[in-house]
Amino acid sequence: MPDIGAGCLELRIRDESRNWRIFYYIAADAIVILAVHPKTMRKTPPALIKNCQRRLNLYQSIP
């Protein structure tokens, strides 16, 4: 998911009632879940992208 940052990916999962989107980042020592969101629109909401970017920046700033 280049809109969030380099190395970020999106997983789409379907259950009985809805589709889910999981945004995550693969680091050398962890898989960081940035957001889990029900897919209700065609396009990812800008607020969700900004929130994922904020969380990724927080993770990457940890020494």
- Per residue in 1-60, pLDDT (tens digit) is 778 988 899 999 999 999 999 999 999 999 999 999 999 989 999 999 999 999 999 999
Is 18 within the bounds of a domain?
yes
Give 24's strand partners: 9, 33
**Contact (Cβ atoms closer than 8 angstroms) between residue 26 and residue 46:** no
**Contact (Cβ atoms closer than 8 angstroms) between residue 24 and residue 12:** no
Is 56 within the bounds of a domain?
yes
pLDDT of amino acid 3: 87
Is 19 within the bounds of a domain?
yes
Number of domains making up the chain: 1
Is 3 within the bounds of a domain?
no
pTM: 0.88
pLDDT of amino acid 60: 93
Residue 6, helix vs strand vs coil: coil
Is 2 within the bounds of a domain?
no
Its domain, for residue 52, covers 8-60
Is 38 within the bounds of a domain?
yes
The Cα 45–Cα 15 span in angstroms is 21
The Cα 4–Cα 12 span in angstroms is 16
